[in-house]
Structure 1
Amino acid sequence: MDPHLLRTFVAVVDHGSFSVAASALGYTQSAVSQHIAALETDLGTTLLTRRPVAPTPGGARLMEHARPLLLRLDAARADLARLDQAPAQGLSLACTPLSRTALLTAPLPGEGPHLRVLGREETLQAVTAGEVDLALVDGAAAPSDPLALADIGPLTTLRVAEEPLALVLPAGHPLARRSAVRLADLSEAHWIDAPDTGIPLPRLRVAAGSDGFRARTTYEGTDVLMLGALVAAGHGLTLLPASAARLVEGVALTGLSAPHLVHRVEVVHGRLPEGPARVLAERLGAGA
């Protein structure tokens, strides 16, 4: 399977248009059509309907494989590039919104460090593709368990910090006076789906063993205070690390009695030559 054809297919699905995908990729629309036709011939199945442009059942199944395959190819390219990498003088890193506080206890070494705050998926993609030296990611996990990250290449992960999670509720919510609640009891509550800031709802379904936790509101930003303001205004519930939740005004906080989950931050990196990135990774690990 030609990865160039696969990238074209993903672009068409993402944009829902052959012409928009062509513009994004720098191809002609005719070239995009030829790529899709060649991929369909190779796989022996129709992948896209044309009007409207949407994946067929076979195309939807291919999309489940396409992103991990392309990301793994980017990881291989970046890993080979690191073999000949000279010691870096600068430092570039990416972090998720709720992991960046870990940097407050680890001064950034080197000159002119470059910090990018991205969503969880984008952060992992950046370090996998070698766009940044290392990354800080966060999520919910059982105490001392590693984060359930995708297998995206020969990357090293290391615990940086763990802290309790807090359920964030509007101040007048009936559960606001409770010291702790069971997560499974909230499966039918109204939730805010904030995949890059709060704990993603699919993770809550796995943790509670429930197919509930449906979103009433979707927030695609990375501002924790904005997420808290949505909770305060009654748009739904969310889970945040306790230290971040305490910064939000107009809400109530309660703990989880079951399951026992913590908010965990990890540093993720590939091969690190001598330089600021290695120094920072060692500092973050030592701080843990």
Structure 2
Amino acid sequence: MDLRLLSSFLAVVEEGHFKRAAARLFLSPPAVTQHIRQLESELGTRLLHRNPVSPTRAGARLAGHARTLLAAANAAMDDMADVIQGPSADAPRPLRIGIMGHGSAELTPAAVNAFRRARPDVPVELRQLNFTEHVTALVEDRVDVAFVRPAPDDERIATDVLTTEQRIVAVPETSAIADARENGVRVADIIDLPFVRLPGHTPPVFTDYLYFNHEAQRRGPDFALTPQEVLTGVVAGRAAGSGLKSFARYYAWPGAVFVPVLDAPWESSYLAVRADDGNPEVKIFRALTVALAPELRPRIER
């Protein structure tokens, strides 16, 4: 498939207008129109409604693939430029991927697998991160990219929003709060729960996230650095925890109940990298992940 056709198509979808898309691509409107007609002819289906301009069902599906293919192509060009500058006799350095908890749900394994298909010669190492590490693991060069939440408050780190989800609270099934698993609760209903305690060196942004920005909450007796440690305290009836809605799909422990928090702001998961990192493999992984996010986001955020 001709990437020029995909580029014109995606520009029209994003601009919602043929003339603006042409200006963005430094092409003439007739050229863009011809690209769209050629693409529709190749695929045998209409991709765009013309008045007003909007994608058809097939066009919306193709737009997601187009973003992925174009991002991968751009990243590949960056990688080739690095190779052309001078070959290296060294074996490829592994791409070290840090994952906090369940990362960005289904998007995390999809991104890892897409990278492995795109760069089969590059080893991949997956490293589990605890609640204190979504800045230190990157700045101390222990990982190259990291799936984290919330966004690190550090100018040395660059982030991309991947998913945005409703918040939940994890409580023992014996808790009165558990009865609200279908209808949900409000922050005022949970501020006195015995939330797990975090080490003093935990980044403030993560502490605020876990405790719904209520620093004065009563804390339980248990310390936790990982979701598994949180749930150990929950099922023992000693603690409560919090997370994103997709947390419940990945940590369905007997004895733990996940209750939606209706008035808590929705929170995002992020891909984080070092802001000054010129590693072409990081650029490729970042481009693939960001391109895949719009395709998987509706399934994750439902």
Report whether the alignment pairs 1:91 with 2:95.
yes
- Which structure features the higher share of helix residues? 2
Q: Decide which of 104, 108, 121 is 1:103's aligned counterpart.
A: 108
Which residue identity lines up with residue 164 of structure 1 in the other structure? Q
Call closer, same or farther: CA 1:86–1:165 in 2, change over 3 Å: farther
Q: Decide which of 127, 133, 157 is 2:144's aligned counterpart.
A: 133
Query: TM-score, structure 1 length as denominator?
Result: 0.56
Query: TM-score, structure 2 length as denominator?
Result: 0.54
Q: Does the Cα contact within 8 Å between 1:134 and 1:270 map onto a contact in 2?
A: no
SS class of match (2:217): coil
Call closer, same or farther: CA 1:194–1:176 in 2, change over 3 Å: same
Call closer, same or farther: CA 1:276–1:187 in 2, change over 3 Å: same
CA shift for structure 1 position 231 = 0.7
SS class of match (1:180): coil
Q: Does the Cα contact within 8 Å between 2:159 and 2:270 map onto a contact in 1?
A: no
Call closer, same or farther: CA 1:100–1:116 in 2, change over 3 Å: farther
CA shift for structure 1 position 221 = 3.6
CA shift for structure 1 position 284 = 1.1
Call closer, same or farther: CA 1:86–1:100 in 2, change over 3 Å: farther
Aligned partners of 2:232 and 2:86: how far apart in 1? 45
Which residue identity lines up with residue 209 of structure 2 in the other structure? R
Q: Does the Cα contact within 8 Å between 1:204 and 1:213 map onto a contact in 2?
A: no
Aligned partners of 1:274 and 1:221: how far apart in 2? 30
Q: Does the Cα contact within 8 Å between 1:86 and 1:273 map onto a contact in 2?
A: no
Report whether the alignment pairs 1:279 with 2:284.
yes
Call closer, same or farther: CA 1:116–1:204 in 2, change over 3 Å: closer
Deviations for 1:106-156, whole angstroms, at most 9, x for unmatched residues? Answer: 1143422122212243331232233432222113xxxxxxx3x22242x32
CA shift for structure 1 position 211 = 4.2
Call closer, same or farther: CA 1:204–1:89 in 2, change over 3 Å: closer
Larger radius of gyration: 2
SS class of match (1:281): helix
Call closer, same or farther: CA 1:188–1:220 in 2, change over 3 Å: closer
Q: Does the Cα contact within 8 Å between 2:145 and 2:271 map onto a contact in 1?
A: no
Which residue identity lines up with residue 156 of structure 1 in the other structure? A
What residue is the counterpart of 1:268 in the other structure? Answer: 273
What residue is the counterpart of 1:33 in the other structure? Answer: none
Which residue identity lines up with residue 151 of structure 1 in the other structure? D
What residue is the counterpart of 1:238 in the other structure? Answer: 241
Aligned partners of 2:221 and 2:128: how far apart in 1? 23
SS class of match (2:246): helix
SS class of match (1:126): helix
Calculate the aligned-residue CA RMSD, in Å.
Answer: 3.1
Please list every run of 5 or more consecutive structure 1 residues that lacks an aligned counterpart in the other structure. Answer: 1-83, 140-146
CA shift for structure 1 position 86 = 8.9
Deviations for 1:153-179, whole angstroms, at most 9, x for unmatched residues? Answer: 2x3211122222211111121122222
Which residue identity lines up with residue 172 of structure 2 in the other structure? P
Call closer, same or farther: CA 1:125–1:211 in 2, change over 3 Å: closer
Aligned partners of 1:174 and 1:103: how far apart in 2? 34
What residue is the counterpart of 1:214 in the other structure? Answer: 218
Aligned partners of 1:93 and 1:159: how far apart in 2? 17
Q: Does the Cα contact within 8 Å between 1:124 and 1:135 map onto a contact in 2?
A: no
CA shift for structure 1 position 216 = 1.0
SS class of match (1:104): helix
What residue is the counterpart of 1:76 in the other structure? Answer: none
What residue is the counterpart of 2:184 in the other structure? Answer: 180
Call closer, same or farther: CA 1:181–1:188 in 2, change over 3 Å: same
Q: What percent identity do the matched residue pairs reach?
A: 18
What residue is the counterpart of 2:153 in the other structure? Answer: 150
Call closer, same or farther: CA 1:94–1:253 in 2, change over 3 Å: closer
Call closer, same or farther: CA 1:263–1:245 in 2, change over 3 Å: farther
SS class of match (2:216): coil
Q: Decide which of 209, 213, 218 is 1:203's aligned counterpart.
A: 209
Aligned partners of 1:187 and 1:89: how far apart in 2? 46
